[in-house]
């Protein structure tokens, strides 16, 4: 058995054996990169060897089938667990978990799923906001939206605190909660997955045991078994059963002693164990790696865990043999290690025949520089990674130059002692050589990705060993390997003489012994020589190089084609492209290309036959395009394909009659080309399209196609009144992108994108409920209150209003001009009692623009001609102004006051009208909210609008309660009680509307008329409250039973008084259901149902009438059953059991039947009403039958 430390070394070892003719090879473990050895992998050989017994084949086939089923089930379960989770999907989603764990939050989120008074809550682009979108908003960390607050405010204190706490959870905790809910939702799936994985592992073990015998037979037939140290440990059991007698460990000086010991096999019942251990390695090179520095020999703490068995045995003077002849390095390179480490080393004669490195003056060069290193600080430990940007750039430019000399990518390797410099070199290579990949070993990749790549650098991609790949490696991970040319970056460059890894003789030994024909080192000579710890190692090396003229300040390049020009020393990376842009010198090539032109490139040692250089020729092409009948010369460059003739020719007349100016030759070279070009005539003409009827400008070529494309807009009139904005040719569904701009009840226009006939959503403008005292800061659609400060409207003629600011004023308007003076000293032009305007509205001082403003909309009189003593002006909040007479007409003051001889003599009661629109400025249409003269009318309209918003809020709350009530289970009494409390609050809130608050602020003044709550909302609230009480009933004597009846009767009374026939019918049906459920089908309940049926002419809902008729039939049937039961007495000495509830059963359709004697079913029969099978056998009832609840209730009542 051959054991190697790395997969690469193992592949090389086995390849050499294969090349020597050995074919009985088995490689254990994966990650084989050798094409020669892949076919000798144990798994591959197992696939080819199919010698199984019949029983083993049968067992394996069964196991494999089960494995496939198990794998498919694991994939299915994994897909279930990986699917995105939402509010209602999958398996009911998060809602199904929250409904149990936190019902308050569950009902809060679900409250958005029902329409509100014909409206629905929408967001951007009119997208409906429902429970799903609300939950996703919460899950993403959003704050509590404003549109949710009305649903929270109607809850009790505990529920409100719970919901607000739910919205206050931070984003990270929300993510954890969602994940916990996911685990709860998929709890059974996780359990199933765990079971399937356990079963899969058991099946894999069974399969492996079946394959074990076959694998053992393959290993017994092999002469050589190869494995890495990890592979030998992984397959230890099967390898030891085979028991190889000889174990060879390659690169043993790099392998930890425990790895070798565990690879040895002791004698057992099957084998005699390991008899011969052969260790091949070099204890003078790098030691094995240990994770902890304290355990290494360098720490001098005595642990010495990084001493290999090989080194320990050598130092213990154990018998060993040393190879004296080296076949790798040219003699000049081997001199370095011969003088320091291997004095008896002999060069094989073949090493004297190595060719010199092409394009470089010397085969070995030390490029000296003084550019400082980066990384770490003066006090950092030696293992802190370092880098040197100058050296990285210089090494890559040397690599580029060597590639231009004709060397293959696999012949060149870049080495450095630090992994940080490896990453720097790869980054520079990627930035400057886009056609070359970087190849690094698996060990270097692991270190770079785990220790160095962080943040944005973590996205850096490391290529595998692909074509055109340069090997970049740390010295530690290149031990045991070689390369024709090695470019070395020594990194360390500082004034302290600190050289870190380079002070270790073993590491210097490795870095100097990897190159075969060329070694180029880039470093700081002064730093290396002055190092207290490593100077004794580097001084002899650098002194020899300096004596031989190999220590230079620039890289010595020599042109292969013009060697007599001498060497050029290049000290900076950027000078390579100036001195040798193509790998040669700067002379022009001037060789004749196949096209007849001279080569435009500078001297280049590769591609001397110029097979590929033609693509760089930039001379004008002298060829004639193959399709040109007029022998025009090509107009492109020589390195481009001629293609079609692009020469401009004389204008021609196309078949359509239009003239084509300056066409290209290929467009008109023959009649066929002219015909084709005529179909693409660019002349623009007016054309009427038959399909759509549009007449618009288009190209002549478009009109000649079979299906011309209309370039105009669709312009179809849509239901919303706007025209479709889509392109006519692409319009599949008409679209409107205009704003709705319909006038809302509040006076604002709808700002949403046009939504057709769908009702406008609630107003999103800021509320304009303002007065001299305060301003509402909410949105217009939100509920707000009127001002309760004392009204400020006062004048010397009519006195002061006695009500509050938000109430309709009681004083009469004054028609006289204000006698106060403006700041300019002139008399105020406004009406007495109004706030005086600024001097900008003075009829004497104002601008010409204001003087020309029309203030009298009846006679169109401008301000300059207006007699303001007789008809003063009023300034609206928007800034526009008109005469008192004009605005009195606009505001229709006759609604609010009695007018006699153009004087206000009394106050009228304003009639409530839901269709009254807000009062607006005649000019800009801005809603007017605060002008003292029109306070009575404006305050009335404001209160009416506030009442409407109040009722809408009540409606939303009722919808939320109705939804909660539909979802609560009968056992959840706490939620029923919460709903009861909420409904009682709603009923109380109905009586405390905005007008009621103003009425109370006015001291109960009878002039403030408080409207009654809308009967529909009251009835709906009472019905929901009655249903809640009915759900809480536990027995007839329960208080909730009487409360339920009382509430339903109150709702019926209101319905009768307001002629609400449909709601009255629903209330009567609800009342009947409650009484049937608890006192049975009494005869007097028929009267309530008869009232529903007699009023059916007013009810348009057939389901209500149908339900009433079913209930009536049920009551009659119940009475018939009661009579039957009462007639069942003892007769002829036998008790027929009329009062035995456990003897009565129902057929599948609900028809009752009786079983005598013990009451157990002993035979089957047919139901006399419907023919369904009834009864059973052996005292067991048929599963489709059940005990009768109807009879039980009848007997309980009797």
Mean pLDDT lowest for which of 122-126, 248-252, 308-312, 587-591? 122-126
User: How far, in whole angstroms, is CA 488 from its chain's centroid?
Assistant: 46
pLDDT number for residue 378: 41
Mean pLDDT lowest for which of 288-302, 377-391, 742-756? 377-391
3-state secondary structure of 1172: coil
pLDDT number for residue 123: 62
Q: Which residue has the tokens 């288009």?
A: 698
Question: Can you tell me the distance from the alpha carbon of 284 to that of 343, in angstroms, rounded to the nearest whole number?
Answer: 13
CA dist list (Å): 744 to 925, 955, 1010 = 13, 19, 24
CA angle 819, 825, 828 (to 5 degrees): 35
Give alpha helix (H) positions in 1058-1101. Answer: 1061-1079, 1085-1094
- Quick one: tokens of 882? 């008109």
pLDDT number for residue 463: 44
> Among 1195, 1170, 1174, 1196, which residue's Cα sits nearest to residue 1186?
1174
Question: Can you tell me the distance from the alpha carbon of 32 to that of 200, in angstroms, rounded to the nearest whole number?
Answer: 27
Whether residue 1044 contacts residue 1067, with contact meaning beta carbons closer than 8 Å, is answered with no
Angle, helices 131-139/93-101, rounded to nearest 10 degrees: 80
Question: Can you tell me the distance from the alpha carbon of 90 to that of 101, in angstroms, rounded to the nearest whole number?
Answer: 18
Give alpha helix (H) positions in 222-362. Answer: 229-234, 236-242, 257-263, 309-315, 331-340
pLDDT number for residue 383: 40
CA dist list (Å): 661 to 650, 667, 681, 698, 820 = 7, 12, 11, 18, 81
3-state secondary structure of 1176: strand
Q: Does residue 1129 register a pLDDT over 60?
A: no
Burial of 431 (0-12, 13-18, 19+ CB in 10 A): exposed
- Quick one: tokens of 681? 């005539």
pLDDT: which is higher, 105 or 869: 869
Digit-coded pLDDT (tens) for 215-270? 888 888 889 999 998 888 888 878 877 778 899 998 898 889 988 888 888 877 66
Q: Which residue has the tokens 């084998």?
A: 271
The confidence band for 553, taking pLDDT boundaries of 50, 70 and 90, is very high
> Among 767, 763, 771, which residue's Cα sits nearest to residue 952?
763
- Helices (H) and strands (E) counted in the chain, each on its own, are 35, 36
Question: Can you tell me the distance from the alpha carbon of 238 to that of 1089, in angstroms, rounded to the nearest whole number?
Answer: 88
Question: Can you tell me the distance from the alpha carbon of 1016 to that of 1061, in angstroms, rounded to the nearest whole number?
Answer: 11
Q: Does residue 151 register a pLDDT over 80?
A: no
For 965-972, what is the mean pLDDT?
75
Pairing mode of beta strands 873-875, 881-883: antiparallel
Give alpha helix (H) positions in 83-128. Answer: 93-101, 103-110
Digit-coded pLDDT (tens) for 695-729? 999 999 888 888 888 988 888 888 777 888 888 88
3-state secondary structure of 116: strand
Share of the chain above pLDDT 70, in %: 90
3-state secondary structure of 684: strand
For 334-342, what is the mean pLDDT?
92
Q: Which residue has the tokens 């049926």?
A: 1093
Cis peptide before 90 (omega within 30 of 0): yes
How many CA atoms does the CB half-sphere of 125 hold within 13 Å? 2
Q: Does residue 914 register a pLDDT over 80?
A: no
Highest mean pLDDT among 147-151, 866-870, 1012-1016: 866-870
In this structure, how many other beta carbons lie within 10 angstroms of the beta carbon of residue 426? 25
pLDDT number for residue 372: 94
Q: What one-character DSSP code corresponds to residue 644?
A: S
Mean pLDDT lowest for which of 263-272, 392-401, 857-866? 263-272
In this structure, how many other beta carbons lie within 10 angstroms of the beta carbon of residue 1076? 17
Q: Does residue 1151 register a pLDDT over 90?
A: no
pLDDT number for residue 380: 40
Q: Does residue 765 register a pLDDT over 90?
A: no
3-state secondary structure of 1005: coil
Burial of 823 (0-12, 13-18, 19+ CB in 10 A): exposed
Whether residue 340 contacts residue 540, with contact meaning beta carbons closer than 8 Å, is answered with yes
pLDDT number for residue 382: 41
Q: Does residue 143 register a pLDDT over 80?
A: yes
User: How far, in whole angstroms, is CA 111 from its chain's centroid?
Assistant: 27
Mean pLDDT lowest for which of 176-190, 312-326, 409-423, 461-475? 461-475
Whether residue 1023 contacts residue 1063, with contact meaning beta carbons closer than 8 Å, is answered with yes
CA angle 1034, 1038, 1042 (to 5 degrees): 120
CA dist list (Å): 868 to 150, 815, 817, 829, 904 = 50, 11, 7, 6, 19
pTM of this prediction exceeds 0.75: no
- The dihedral over CA atoms of 147, 153, 155, 159, expressed in degrees to the nearest 10, equals 80
Give alpha helix (H) positions in 619-727. Answer: 671-678, 700-703
3-state secondary structure of 381: coil
CA dist list (Å): 607 to 557, 583, 603, 614, 637 = 19, 11, 11, 11, 22
Digit-coded pLDDT (tens) for 274-315? 899 999 988 888 888 888 888 888 788 888 888 899 999 998
If you count them, how many residues does the chain have?
1198
pLDDT: which is higher, 139 or 462: 139
The confidence band for 379, taking pLDDT boundaries of 50, 70 and 90, is very low
Pairing mode of beta strands 412-416, 364-368: unpaired
Digit-coded pLDDT (tens) for 949-960? 888 888 878 888
Q: What is the 3-state secondary structure (H, E, C) of 499-520?
A: CHHHHCHHHHHHHHCCEEEEEE
685 forms bridges with which residues in the sheet? 698
Pairing mode of beta strands 695-699, 794-795: unpaired
| Phi, psi angles (nearest 5°) of residue 963 | -65, -45
Q: Does residue 947 register a pLDDT over 90?
A: no
Whether residue 1070 contacts residue 1049, with contact meaning beta carbons closer than 8 Å, is answered with no
Question: Can you tell me the distance from the alpha carbon of 38 to that of 222, in angstroms, rounded to the nearest whole number?
Answer: 15
pLDDT number for residue 34: 82
The dihedral sign for the CA sequence 39, 44, 48, 51: positive
pLDDT number for residue 1127: 55
pLDDT number for residue 346: 95
Q: Does residue 14 register a pLDDT over 60?
A: yes
Q: Does residue 522 register a pLDDT over 90?
A: yes
Edge-to-edge order in the sheet of strand 276-280: 25-27, 224-228, 2-4, 246-250, 276-280
- Quick one: tokens of 784? 């707000």
How many CA atoms does the CB half-sphere of 116 hold within 13 Å? 27
Pairing mode of beta strands 903-907, 897-900: antiparallel
Read out DSSP for 233-250? HHTHHHHHHH--SEEEEE
**H or E element that contains 469:** strand 469-474
Cis peptide before 70 (omega within 30 of 0): no
Question: Can you tell me the distance from the alpha carbon of 718 to that of 736, in angstroms, rounded to the nearest whole number?
Answer: 8
Question: Can you tell me the distance from the alpha carbon of 140 to that of 178, in angstroms, rounded to the nearest whole number?
Answer: 11
Read out DSSP for 527-578? HHHT-TTTHHHHHHHHHHHHHTT-EESSEEE--SS-GGG--EEE-SGGGHHH
- Quick one: tokens of 749? 């226009």
Average pLDDT, the chain: 84
pLDDT: which is higher, 345 or 269: 345
Instruction: Could you list the beta-strand ranges (E) of 334-383.
Output: 346-347, 364-368
515 forms bridges with which residues in the sheet? 483
């Amino acid at each position: 058995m051959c054991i190697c430390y790395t997969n690469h070394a193992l592949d090389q070892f086995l390849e050499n054996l294969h090349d020597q003719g050995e074919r009985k090879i088995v490689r254990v473990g994966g990650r084989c990169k050798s094409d020669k050895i892949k076919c000798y992998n144990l798994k591959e050989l197992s696939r080819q060897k199919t010698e199984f017994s019949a029983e083993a084949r049968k067992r394996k086939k069964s196991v494999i089938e089960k494995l496939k089923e198990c794998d498919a089930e694991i994939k299915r379960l994994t897909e279930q667990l990986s699917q995105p989770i939402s509010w209602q999907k999958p398996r009911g989603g998060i809602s199904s978990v929250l409904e149990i764990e936190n019902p308050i939050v569950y009902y809060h989120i679900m409250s958005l799923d029902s329409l509100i008074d014909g409206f629905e809550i929408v967001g951007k682009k009119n997208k409906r906001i429902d429970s799903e979108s609300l939950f996703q908003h919460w899950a993403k960390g959003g704050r509590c939206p404003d549109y949710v607050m009305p649903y929270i405010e109607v809850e009790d204190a505990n529920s409100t605190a719970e919901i607000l706490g739910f919205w206050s959870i931070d984003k990270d905790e929300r993510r954890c909660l969602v994940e916990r809910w996911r685990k709860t939702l998929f709890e059974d799936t996780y359990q199933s997955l765990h079971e399937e994985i356990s079963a899969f592992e058991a099946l894999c073990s069974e399969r492996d045991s079946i394959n074990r015998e076959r694998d053992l037979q393959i290993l017994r037939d092999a002469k050589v078994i190869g494995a890495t140290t990890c592979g030998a440990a992984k397959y230890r059991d099967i390898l030891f059963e085979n028991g190889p007698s000889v174990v060879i460990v390659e690169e043993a000086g790099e392998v930890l002693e425990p790895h070798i010991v565990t690879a040895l096999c002791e004698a057992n019942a099957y084998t005699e164990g390991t008899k011969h251990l052969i260790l091949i390695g070099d204890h003078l090179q790098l030691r094995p790696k240990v994770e902890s520095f304290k355990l290494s020999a360098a720490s001098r703490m005595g642990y010495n865990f990084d001493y290999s068995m090989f080194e320990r045995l050598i130092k213990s003077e154990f018998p060993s043999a040393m190879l004296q002849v080296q076949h790798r390095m040219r003699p000049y390179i081997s001199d370095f290690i011969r003088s320091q480490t291997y004095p008896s080393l002999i060069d094989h004669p073949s090493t004297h025949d190595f060719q010199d490195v092409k394009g470089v003056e010397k085969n070995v060069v030390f490029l000296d520089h003084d550019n400082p290193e980066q990384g770490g600080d003066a006090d950092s430990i030696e293992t802190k990674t370092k880098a040197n940007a100058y050296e990285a750039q210089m090494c890559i430019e040397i690599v580029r130059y060597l590639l231009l000399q004709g060397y293959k990518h696999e012949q060149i390797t870049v080495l450095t002692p630090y992994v940080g410099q490896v990453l720097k070199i790869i980054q520079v290579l990627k930035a400057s050589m886009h056609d070359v990949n970087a190849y690094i070993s698996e060990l270097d990749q692991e270190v770079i990705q785990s220790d160095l790549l962080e943040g944005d650098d973590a996205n850096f991609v490391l290529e595998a060993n692909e074509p055109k790949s340069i090997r970049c490696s740390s010295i530690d991970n290149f031990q045991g390997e070689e390369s024709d040319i090695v470019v070395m970056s020594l990194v360390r460059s500082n004034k302290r003489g600190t050289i870190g890894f380079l002070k270790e003789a073993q590491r210097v030994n490795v870095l100097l012994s990897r190159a075969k024909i060329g070694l180029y080192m880039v470093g700081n000579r002064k730093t290396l020589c002055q190092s207290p710890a490593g100077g004794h190692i580097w001084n002899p090396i650098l002194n020899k190089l300096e004596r031989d003229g190999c220590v230079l300040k620039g890289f010595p390049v020599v042109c292969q084609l013009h060697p007599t020009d001498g060497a050029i020393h290049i000290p900076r990376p950027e000078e390579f492209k100036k001195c040798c842009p193509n790998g040669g010198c700067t002379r022009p090539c001037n060789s004749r290309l196949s096209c007849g032109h001279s080569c435009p490139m500078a001297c280049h040692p590769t591609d001397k036959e110029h097979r590929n250089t033609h693509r760089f020729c930039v001379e004008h092409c002298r060829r004639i395009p193959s399709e040109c009948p007029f022998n025009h010369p090509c107009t492109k460059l020589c390195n481009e394909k001629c293609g079609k003739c692009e020469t401009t020719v004389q204008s021609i007349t196309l078949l359509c009659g239009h003239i084509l100016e300056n066409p290209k030759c290929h467009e008109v070279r023959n009649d066929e080309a002219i015909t084709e070009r005529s179909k693409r005539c660019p002349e623009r003409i007016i054309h009427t399209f038959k399909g759509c009827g549009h007449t618009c400008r288009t190209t002549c070529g478009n009109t000649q196609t079979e299906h011309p494309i209309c370039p105009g807009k669709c312009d179809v009139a849509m239901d919303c009144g706007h025209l479709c904005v889509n392109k006519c040719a692409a319009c599949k569904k008409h679209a409107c992108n205009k704003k709705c701009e319909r006038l809302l009840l509040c006076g604002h226009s709808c700002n949403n994108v046009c939504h057709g006939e769908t009702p406008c959503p609630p107003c999103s403008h800021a509320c304009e409920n303002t007065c001299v005292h305060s301003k509402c800061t909410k949105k217009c659609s939100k509920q707000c209150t009127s001002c309760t400060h004392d009204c400020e409207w006062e004048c010397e003629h009519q006195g002061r209003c006695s009500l509050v600011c938000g109430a309709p004023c009681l004083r009469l308007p004054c028609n006289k001009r204000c006698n106060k003076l403006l700041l300019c000293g002139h008399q105020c032009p406004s009406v007495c009692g109004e706030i005086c305007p600024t001097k900008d509205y003075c009829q004497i001082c104002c601008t010409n623009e204001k003087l020309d403003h029309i203030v009298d909309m009846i006679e169109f009189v401008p301000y300059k001609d207006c007699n303001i003593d007789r008809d003063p002006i009023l300034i609206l909040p928007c800034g526009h102004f008109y005469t008192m007479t004009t605005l009195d007409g606009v505001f229709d003051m006759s609604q609010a006051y009695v007018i006699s001889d153009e004087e206000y003599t009394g106050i009228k009661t304003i009639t409530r009208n839901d269709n009254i629109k807000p009062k607006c400025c005649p000019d800009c249409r801005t809603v007017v909210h605060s002008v003292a003269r029109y306070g009575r009318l404006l305050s009335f309209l404001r209160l009416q609008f506030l009442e409407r918003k109040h009722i809408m809020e009540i409606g939303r709350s009722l919808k939320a309660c109705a939804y909660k009530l539909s979802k609560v289970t009968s056992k959840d009494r706490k939620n029923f009680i919460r709903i009861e409390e909420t409904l009682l609050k709603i009923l109380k809130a109905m009586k405390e509307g905005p007008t009621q608050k103003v009425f109370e602020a006015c001291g109960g003044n009878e002039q403030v008329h408080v409207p009654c709550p809308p009967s529909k909302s009251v009835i709906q609230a009472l019905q929901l409250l009655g249903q809640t009480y009915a759900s809480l009933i536990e027995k007839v004597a329960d208080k909730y039973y009487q409360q339920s009846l009382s509430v339903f009767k109150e709702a019926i009374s209101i319905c009768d008084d307001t002629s609400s026939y449909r709601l009255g019918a629903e209330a009567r049906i609800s009342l009947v259901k409650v009484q049937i459920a608890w006192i049975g089908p009494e005869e007097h309940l028929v009267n309530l149902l008869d009232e529903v049926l007699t009023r059916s002419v007013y009810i348009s809902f057939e389901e209500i009438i149908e339900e009433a008729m079913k209930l009536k039939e049920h009551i009659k049937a119940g009475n018939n059953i009661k009579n039957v039961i009462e007639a069942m007495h003892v007769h002829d000495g036998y008790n027929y059991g009329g009062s035995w509830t456990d003897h009565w059963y129902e057929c599948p359709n609900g028809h009752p039947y009786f079983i005598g004697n013990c009451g157990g079913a002993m035979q089957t029969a047919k139901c006399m009403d419907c023919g369904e099978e009834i009864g059973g056998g052996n005292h067991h009832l048929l599963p489709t039958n059940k005990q009768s609840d109807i009879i039980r209730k009848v007997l309980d009542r009797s």
